[in-house]
Amino acid sequence: MQTTVDSVAEAIDLALPFELSLVVPIFNEEESVGPLVDRICSAMVNFTARWELILVDDGSTDATLANARQHLDRDGLNLKIVALQRNFGQTAAMQAGIDTATGRLIATMDGDLQNDPKDIPAMVRELERRELDLLVGWRKNRQDGLLLRKIPSWCANYLIGRITGVKLHDYGCSLKIYRASIIKQVKLMGEMHRFIPAWVAGVVPSSRIGEMVVTHHAREHGQSKYGISRTFRVILDLLSVMFFMRYKARPGHFFGSLGLGLGGIAALILIYLFFDKFIMGNDIGSRPMLMVGIVFLLSSVQLITTGILSEMIARTYYRDDASPNYIVRQILDGNENA
């Protein structure tokens, strides 16, 4: 009788939807993945709603995947492992986990034990209390090197805030809580994981994006596999974010504005030279200004036509492209083994 009651209770529990999906991209973290799962389970022990853990193995070449598989049959843990076919990068791994998640809320964090999962329940409560769509962790007391990590991060956060208009102290913190209905509208591409708040701001008002101070630990094992390695890469990514935020639906305006600007300068130069040649009677054939005017005029025509072509591409390719930017080899679901 007790077995029947337990079976019915288990079936009912499996039928209930998840309140929270915790997504963790991992890459060559064989020493960290075991303690990571232990800490997550310990941190979520008093979380009363149903939750699931999704580990995304980003093509690890060590024992990370094997070590993660050992937790598939763990009691009380709803674990899924998404094994990517090769290393696609943190952004693609995070997108794979978000696509797999079924929870009403989605949390993301790093797999290197620097983020503390104990902050997650408090962040969920804070997101609901403030009625936010995205709550970003702020590593106020960041346990990283000053010269190579903190200073570049401060500069990047300042630039991103100024350009995107979303003012946050710590764009690079992976510990975030989203409403699934919002983050699933955002397609992450390239290496844009550090600009997720900016992408979300394209879907919801920036007033629905907040931040909260979280705990940050020093790395215990190995070296960082993800993160900002070179400042120029952040600047290039930031320029891409600025372009997509402002001109994604109208790229012709971007190229057209540049083309019209150069065309205006070319027109002024050529009008001046026309006046100088036919009114003042001066020779202009050997003057550098004539060549500059002609080059500016040709560049203007090229930019305007590029803008027209980009509008055609934006209205066809991007509208119909629904292919993901990753390839899943297999998905291991702990519930299927129960």
Write the burial class of residue 338 (CB in 10 Å: 0-12 exposed, 13-18 middle, 19+ buried). exposed
Tell me how far apart the alpha carbons of residues 267 and 293 are, in angstroms, rounded to a whole number. 7
Do 180 and 286 belong to one domain? no
* Residue 21 near residue 184, CB atoms below 8 Å: no
Residues 134 and 270 in one domain: no
**Domain-embedded: residue 71:** yes
Does pLDDT of 226 surpass 60? no
Reported as a pLDDT band with limits 50, 70 and 90, residue 23 is very high
Same domain assignment for residues 131 and 258: no
In this structure, the answer to whether residues 222 and 284 fall within a common structural domain is: no
Is 327 inside a domain boundary? Answer: no
| CATH label of the domain that carries residue 179 | 3.90.550.10
Smallest CA-to-CA distance from 302 within 333, 266, 256 is with 256
Backbone angles phi, psi at 151, to 5 degrees: -65, -50
Q: Which parts of the chain fold into alpha helices (H)?
A: 2-15, 33-43, 64-69, 90-100, 119-129, 151-164, 180-183, 196-200, 231-247, 251-278, 288-320
Considering the domain architecture, whether residues 123 and 58 belong to the same structural domain is answered as yes
Q: What is the structure's pLDDT at 20?
A: 96
Is residue 218 included in any domain, yes or no?
A: yes
Quick one: what percent of the chain has pLDDT higher than 70?
A: 81
Q: Are 217 and 168 in contact (CB under 8 A)?
A: no
Helix axes 231-247, 251-278, angle to 10 degrees: 90
Would 245 be classed as within a structural domain? no
Q: Tell how strand 134-138 and strand 176-179 pair up.
A: antiparallel
Residue 234 lies in a domain: no
Of 174, 148, 34, 153, nearest to 91 (Cα)? 174
With respect to residue 7, please indicate whether it lies within any of the assigned structural domains: no
Integer CA distances (angstroms), 249 to 62, 166, 190, 265, 313, in order: 42, 20, 19, 27, 10
If asked whether residues 285 and 173 sit together in one domain, one would say: no
Phi-psi region of 15 (alpha: psi -120 to 50; beta: other; left: phi over 0): alpha
| Pairing status of strand 209-213 against strand 134-138 | parallel
Query: Within this chain, do residues 276 and 137 fall inside the same structural domain, yes or no?
Result: no
**Per-residue pLDDT tens digits for 290-319:** 999 999 999 999 999 998 888 887 777 656
Pairing mode of beta strands 134-138, 105-108: unpaired
The contacts of residue 13 (CB under 8 Å, 6+ apart) are: 50
pLDDT at residue 2 greater than cutoff 60: no
Confidence bin at 12 (pLDDT 50/70/90): very low
- What's this model's pTM, rounded to 2 decimal places? 0.74
- Percent of the chain having pLDDT more than 90? 46
Residues 6+ apart with CB under 8 A from 117: 22, 39, 40, 42, 43, 44, 109
How far is residue 251 CA from its own chain's centroid?
A: 22
User: Looking at the structure, do residues 218 and 298 belong to the same domain, yes or no?
Assistant: no
Task: Verify that 188 and 303 share a domain, yes or no.
Answer: no
β-partners of residue 115 are 216
Q: How many Å apart are CA 200 and CA 193, to the nearest integer? A: 11
Structural domains of the chain, count? 2
Domain boundary among 159, 191, 226: 226
Tokens of 333: 């679901």
**146 pLDDT higher than 70:** no
Quick: pLDDT tens for 227-284. Answer: 445 556 667 777 777 777 777 767 888 888 899 999 999 999 999 999 988 888 888 8
Domain membership of residue 189 as a residue range: 19-145+167-226
Exposure letters 150-169 (e unless 16+ CB within 10 A, then b) = eebbeebbeebbebbebebb
**DSSP symbols for 24-69:** EEESS-TTTHHHHHHHHHHHTTT--S-EEEEEEE-S-SSSHHHHHH
Q: 292 lies in a domain?
A: yes
In this prediction, residue 199 carries a pLDDT of 83
Confidence of residue 17 (pLDDT cuts 50, 70, 90): confident
pLDDT digits (tens, 9 = 90+) for 32-71: 999 999 999 999 999 999 999 999 999 999 999 999 999 9
What is the Cα–Cα distance from 87 to 18, expressed in whole angstroms? Answer: 28
**Cα gap 46→70, rounded to integer Å:** 23
- Min mean pLDDT across 22-26, 109-113, 170-174 is at 170-174
- Exposed / middle / buried, residue 186 (Cβ in 10 Å: 0-12, 13-18, 19+): buried
Residues 206 and 267 in one domain: no
- The pLDDT of residue 222 is 59
Structure tokens belonging to residue 142: 């960041």
Task: With respect to residue 236, please indicate whether it lies within any of the assigned structural domains.
Answer: no
**204 and 265 part of one domain:** no
Same domain, 67 and 211: yes
